[in-house]
Amino acid sequence: VSTATNKFSDANKLGEGGFGPVYKVQHKNLVRLFGCCIDKDEKILIYEYIPNKSLDFFLFDYNILLDKDMNPKISDFGIARICRGNELQANTGRIVGTYRYVSPEYPIQGIFSIKSDVFSFGVLLLEIVSGKKTTGFYRTYSFTLLGYAWDLWTSNRTLELIDPILEDEYSSKPMHLRYVNIALLCVQESADDRPTMNDVVSMLTNEAAALLPPKQPAFSYVRNTVTSTSSTGKTEEAR
């Protein structure tokens, strides 16, 4: 991000938003903004066309879209937070986001860090390999998706989690187990136990990279209903 904004140069600064400065930036995995139009009360943003739409039908996350080559494009950074300078974490008293994807230290302690994104990625990876949304409840209806995955993992039945659509000639059982292992490492309750995203990329791209055994994930069991405000201003319900 520092390189893309020329070290956060004022020349690339668009203004100040509710969560900090806003800079111009382009990245191959971001939906490109071509322009805007303001005519009286009419306000229009013009983005590149993404033919495969979002993952909302398959997963919860409607901010991840797929282009014609099935490359992911992220479309919304409305609640992106900034750790200043060389900080690896920061505090906030304002909790926003989609409850099922946020790391436990964020709503409980108001702490967000580079490991918060790792947790969210782990939830998304579990959704992808299982073909299930985080909103579903399983078996005795006491598990979340994370808890369901953990239960299968600890009882040596991890392959029951895998979406049948992934079981083809291009995939293998060892790789399925590896993906679940990586996802569970990402969603561990303690931020210190989670890998960095650099480590995650290495584990995903290098089959020879050793994996640690995961610890029990956060939010394993269904809890009392709570609410949190999403980036769209709507109230999200989580259990």
Band (122; pLDDT cuts 50, 70, 90):
very high
197-205 vs 114-130: helix crossing angle, rounded to 10: 30
Res 185 pLDDT > 80: yes
43 located within any domain:
no
Q: What percent of the chain has a predicted confidence (pLDDT) above 70? A: 67
In a domain, 182, yes or no: yes
Measure the CA–CA gap between 196 and 134, rounded to whole angstroms: 23
Instruction: Establish if 54 belongs to a structural domain.
Output: no
Region 74-87: mean pLDDT is 53
For residues 198-209, average pLDDT: 94
pLDDT score of 233 more than 60: no
What is the distance, to the nearest Å, from the Cα of residue 216 to the centroid of all Cα atoms in its chain?
19
Q: Which CATH number fits the domain that encloses residue 115?
A: 1.10.510.10
User: Is 11 among the domain residues?
Assistant: no
Confidence class for position 200, pLDDT limits 50, 70, 90: very high
Q: Judge whether residue 149 has pLDDT over 50.
A: yes
Residue 122 included in any domain = yes
pLDDT at residue 211 in the model: 96
- Per the structure, the count of domains in the chain is 1
106 within domain boundaries: yes
Quick one: DSSP state of residue 62?
A: T
Tell me which residue range forms the domain holding 161: 88-238
Question: Stretch 33-50: mean pLDDT, rounded?
Answer: 81
The pLDDT value given to residue 28:
72
Q: Is residue 125 part of a domain?
A: yes
138 or 51, higher pLDDT: 51
Per the listing, tokens 């993992």 go with 153
The whole-angstrom separation of Cα 130 and Cα 161 is 5
- CA–CA separation, 13 and 41 (whole Å): 25
If pLDDT is split at 50, 70 and 90, which confidence band does 24 have?
A: confident
Task: For residues 181-185, give the mean pLDDT.
Answer: 97
Asked whether residue 50 is assigned to any structural domain, the reply reads no
- For CA atoms 223, 225, 163, 208, give the dihedral sign: negative
